[in-house]
Structure 1
């Protein structure tokens, strides 16, 4: 199921945010998009998910022109192309279980979802996703009471229950401390490797991109200026992506470092937590 961007451009008035991007991504890759703020990374992801429309060019997945979808077909694409945001996009007053179950929204009646009418199988699916991320004990807590790292894991669990074909993550660790950043990136890599789902994530940090992504796309001024494996991301490529300092020297990579270790985190085993079981039966 190949994914393609064909000459995709996005303009905001006179400003070009994304400029004639051509990219092909085979099924199952984990791709990191890096670049300075304003390089066009977030706009690119939002066009893939159709939260924003391309000004020109086209987007394709598995032979379907995604950029031409409308109505139910577009909703189905947004179900299949799960989006994880920097600011989590949870409903703070709703409990964690319900926030996760809202990922089933496009699989069933909107009214039933909003009324929190979910069947046992869906609740089991939600608890399994929370257990996989090690936060099943939070199932009945209001989402707004969780830490930032926990909320981002809830957002990933919500994406999992969508049963997506692709996962987009827009700066998923930008507001997290290094430990929680590692947990979130481990979870995204686990989804990519275990399910074979394509993961495309925007990242500010070079060390994270090198540690977790098999392919890195570098953007500058809305254009793709680098596309290759981590080992090809040398000083020249970094300078082209990030530019130089006021003295003309290349960027110091420590400025983009989170000191993440790339060791794998074991998957959380099911705990049989009483609160989680209660959430399934609720």
Structure 2
């Protein structure tokens, strides 16, 4: 069980997150929605401890995450992998090396400095890329990939951490509908096959409804909705987003990520021919 209790984050006089309390059972896929500035990203950054709560506590099982320091904090950030909207890859490094960076918190300091990855770790990295349909990019510089491909590399890197929890901060905000579907399919597959808890910030209601078993709505730093997709009614949407400039209802189609011809999960591979990789030589 993951638990936030009375978590608040202040930036000067501004409340970014205001007295948030909720529990997440192991294995749930949770979508966090709300307007820009509602506190969604700050909430995820506190869960991962990239930002500290001003008040309140965060627990994962018997561990008080909000009080961790040093090695304990590094171990938590290994176990709670983070996927960012802007990918956070090293553009000049090849894709395989970027994925292998997910193993750094599992390795000794000397090995990390010398960049000595084992053959087993390299095989793990290739397997993660294959799972996401982009193994053919393994030897390309990460900066040469499309946005959708880079986000899949970021997911593969997160998988290399063997996480207990996966956070995704608006992972499809900069992607076209096709790549958005591929990325969300991958996150749902990880959640269902590995049973890893996934918490993702989303800016589109249709995506949250389609992929998440639970939706948390935030407004002005507070949780104003928490329930299954079927309860995300027009009234609930109004509570989360308010109304348009003229008092009209929010038009959900404006932010829809739907595509006319959905791509099946088994067809997510790029059209390019795979680059042959000899694992024994990795």
Normalising by the residue count of structure 1, what TM-score does the alignment of the two structures yield? 0.95
Aligned to 2:72: 73
Give, in angstroms, the shift of residue 254 of structure 1: 1.1
Aligned to 2:122: 123
* Aligned positions of 1:104-253 closer than 5 A: 104-253=103-252
C-alpha deviations, 1:186-234, integer Å up to 9, x for none? 0000000000000000000000000000000000000000000000000
Q: Secondary structure at the match of 2:218?
A: strand
Output the CA distance in 2 between the equivalents of 1:203 and 1:184: 12
Output the CA distance in 2 between the equivalents of 1:43 and 1:100: 25
Whether the aligned pair in 2 keeps the contact of 1:11 and 1:55 (CA below 8 Å) is yes
Give, in angstroms, the shift of residue 109 of structure 1: 2.1
User: In the superposition, relative to structure 1, how do residues 20 and 249 fare at CA in structure 2: closer, same or farther (>3 Å)?
Assistant: same
Give, in angstroms, the shift of residue 70 of structure 1: 0.6
User: In the superposition, relative to structure 1, how do residues 111 and 95 fare at CA in structure 2: closer, same or farther (>3 Å)?
Assistant: farther
Give, in angstroms, the shift of residue 115 of structure 1: 3.1
Whether the aligned pair in 2 keeps the contact of 1:133 and 1:267 (CA below 8 Å) is no
Output the CA distance in 2 between the equivalents of 1:40 and 1:260: 29
Q: Which runs of 5+ in 2 are unaligned?
A: none
Q: Secondary structure at the match of 1:217?
A: strand
Q: Which runs of 5+ in 1 are unaligned?
A: none
Whether the aligned pair in 2 keeps the contact of 1:208 and 1:260 (CA below 8 Å) is no
Whether the aligned pair in 1 keeps the contact of 2:137 and 2:275 (CA below 8 Å) is no
Q: Secondary structure at the match of 1:106?
A: helix
Whether the aligned pair in 2 keeps the contact of 1:96 and 1:140 (CA below 8 Å) is yes
Aligned to 1:276: 277
Output the CA distance in 1 between the equivalents of 2:57 and 2:188: 28
Give, in angstroms, the shift of residue 46 of structure 1: 0.2
C-alpha deviations, 1:81-138, integer Å up to 9, x for none? 0000000000000000000000001000244234331111100100000000000011
* Aligned positions of 1:10-89 closer than 5 A: 10-89=9-88
Aligned to 1:265: 265
Whether the aligned pair in 2 keeps the contact of 1:66 and 1:77 (CA below 8 Å) is yes
Q: Secondary structure at the match of 1:250?
A: coil
Output the CA distance in 2 between the equivalents of 1:247 and 1:268: 41
Output the CA distance in 2 between the equivalents of 1:73 and 1:94: 29
Give, in angstroms, the shift of residue 245 of structure 1: 1.3
Q: Secondary structure at the match of 1:251?
A: coil
Give, in angstroms, the shift of residue 62 of structure 1: 1.1
Count of residues in correspondence between the two structures: 278
